[in-house]
Amino acid sequence: MQQRKRTLYILYLLITIVMVGIIGYYLLLDISLMDAFYMTVITISTVGFQEVAPMTVPAQLFTIILIFFSLGILGYTGSQLIGFFFGGTLREAWREQKMNEQLNELHDHIIVCGAGETGQHIIQSLEKEQVDFVVIEFEEEKLEAVKEFDNVIVFQGDATQDEVLEKAGIYRAKGLIAALNSDANNLYTVLTARQLKPDLLIVARAITHNSHQKLIRAGADKTVSPNEIGGHRMASMLLKPSVIAFLDTITHSGQIDLNLNEVVIKPASRISNKTLMEANIPEQTDLIIIAIKEKDEDGIIFNPTKDHLLTPGQTLIALGDDDDFKKLKKLAGS
């Protein structure tokens, strides 16, 4: 926007100086408008061609003044052009074009609204999981901080507005995270996103204690309060140190690289319609099956028995490393 204003300002200055030159030579030398335009151009450009009429003293003084003003304007124009090509504006324009091309290619991605402290942790987690996502941030300072991340698609905008979410590809997205700096902004973002795409999975940040239900009513599927989670964790570090040590292990905060992840069973997979004992998952993958979530049900079965039947659409929640999860995904046909 600033570059556009500067460009228009330069254009107005150039048009003004040309019009002043044409009118001045037309009146002072009593020549045609075409000749006046010619005199103006050769004067401003300082190329030194022959005048079209004898120069009177007033015309000479007018020419001197016109040259001084035009040199200043042309010098300013040149400095702006240099700044455009070498000061990052051209690079930014190229980046904008590339980002729009990437946005148009995204499908089943996640939209992250807000790039504050919470948003940056979300970005790091999504990068680690190699998930396609796009970030929307309104504040320039936070926007620049996100641009330092490698290969992150980010643009400036107000996530509460329809056109901004549409630019982020909300109709092709599978999920949205509202992590803005106020409950009001998160509420409007959730409401807007839900209206644009009713089947979108939405997770919202709740800043105050009483905002959880409001966000749910607005359309959020889940709400998270970083302050509440942080408070519980700090207390648990003192009261349940061994439990926290275990959680650190499965969240990559400890020395052992374990992961808690989920895999959906596909109809044509090798473990479909088999019991846990028949599927023999721990022996084939070295993973520990923690729980199973039935298809289209909210309830989760913890520590399932060996006779539990595995059916298409179930979600297996397991503990292990990333290489072992690749084996499970292959068994589950994911």
In a domain, 238, yes or no: no
Q: What is the pLDDT of residues 37-88, one digit of tens each?
A: 988 888 888 777 778 888 888 888 988 888 888 888 877 777 776 666 555 5
Final residue of a domain: which of 86, 121, 156? 86
Are both 38 and 7 inside the same structural domain?
yes
| Tokens 């905008």 sit on residue | 157
Q: Are 191 and 219 in contact (CB under 8 A)?
A: yes
Determine the structural domain holding residue 275 and report its residue range: 245-332
Are both 115 and 195 inside the same structural domain?
yes
% of the chain exceeding 70 in pLDDT = 91
Residue 165 has pLDDT above 70, yes or no: yes
Q: Which pLDDT band, with edges at 50, 70 and 90, does 256 fall under?
A: low
For 115-131, give the DSSP string: -SHHHHHHHHHHHHTT-
Are both 209 and 116 inside the same structural domain?
yes
Are both 249 and 200 inside the same structural domain?
no
In a domain, 237, yes or no: no
Residue 5 has pLDDT above 60, yes or no: yes
**120: Cβ–Cβ under 8 A, 6 or more apart, which residues?**
145, 146
pLDDT score for 163: 94
Amino acid found at 313:
G
Q: Residue 68 belongs to a domain with what CATH number?
A: 1.10.287.70
In a domain, 239, yes or no: no
In a domain, 170, yes or no: yes
In a domain, 236, yes or no: no
Judged by DSSP in three states, 94 sits in helix
Q: Residue 166 belongs to a domain with what CATH number?
A: 3.40.50.720
Q: What is the pLDDT of residues 269-310, one digit of tens each?
A: 999 999 999 989 989 988 889 999 988 777 888 989 999 999
Residue 147: CA count within 13 A, CB half-sphere: 13
pLDDT score for 74: 78
pLDDT score for 251: 60
Are both 209 and 270 inside the same structural domain?
no
The number of distinct structural domains making up the chain is 3
% of the chain exceeding 90 in pLDDT = 34
pLDDT score for 266: 92
Are both 205 and 180 inside the same structural domain?
yes
Are both 225 and 250 inside the same structural domain?
no
β-bridge partners, 35: none
Are both 78 and 144 inside the same structural domain?
no
Are both 256 and 184 inside the same structural domain?
no
Judged by DSSP in three states, 228 sits in helix
Are both 196 and 284 inside the same structural domain?
no
Q: What is the pLDDT of residues 216-243, one digit of tens each?
A: 999 999 999 988 888 888 898 898 888 8
In a domain, 164, yes or no: yes
Among 306, 198, 244, which residue's Cα sits nearest to residue 292?
A: 306
In a domain, 254, yes or no: yes
Among 45, 55, 145, 153, which residue's Cα sits nearest to residue 105?
A: 153
Q: Residue 274 belongs to a domain with what CATH number?
A: 3.30.70.1450
